[in-house]
Amino acid sequence: MWKTPNYQQNKKGFTLIELLVVIAIIGLLSTMSVLALNQARARARDAKRISDVKQIQTALELYYNEEGQYPVATLVDPGDAITSTAGNVYLASVPTPPSPVDGGSCPSVQPKYTYAKQTTSGTGGSYTINYCLGATINTVPGNALQTASPAGIKL
């Protein structure tokens, strides 16, 4: 009697097609995870920038409550301190913005937060803090130079 050979018993490994499909799937998944990680890093940098600006704003408001005006010096260098004439320290070190600078319309020469006192007659003045965001965070639009003032973060 003629017997048909059973090929299933001789199969001991994967075919070339099966291996190529698995390698393609692994490559696709790794590419997608790298892209998601890069987007998460960019969002984290922007969230840190907003947090830094709010920290500077809080220190400036504490200074204003004690001195009746905002500091005259321009706090442009990371590491500068916000201190009163009485020696009180409100911010020991102006934070360094995370790098790289994000946003196509942000100047590449904007690697730090820029503070400037605005003078107005009869009051203690005002200030602006310029910073850059790469993408929109909450209600703060991204990809542009932003300004914060005592009224809050400009939308």
3-state secondary structure 79-109: CCCEECCCCCEEECCCCCCCCCCCCCCCCCC
Is 10 a member of any domain? no
Which domain covers residue 46, as residue numbers? 15-153
Which residue bears the tokens 């990371």?
A: 78
Q: Is the pTM of this model over 0.85?
A: no
Q: CB-side exposure of 16: number of CA atoms within 13 Å? A: 0
Question: Rounded to 5 degrees, what are φ and ψ at 127?
Answer: -155, 165
Is 8 a member of any domain? no
Q: Specify the number of domains making up the chain.
A: 1
> Which tens digit of pLDDT belongs to each residue from 12-64?
788 999 999 999 999 999 999 999 998 888 888 888 988 999 999 999 999 99
Is 71 a member of any domain? yes
- Residue 120 to residue 138: CA distance in whole angstroms: 31
Structure token pair of residue 147: 């300004």
Is 131 a member of any domain? yes
Amino acid letter for position 32 = M
Is 40 a member of any domain? yes
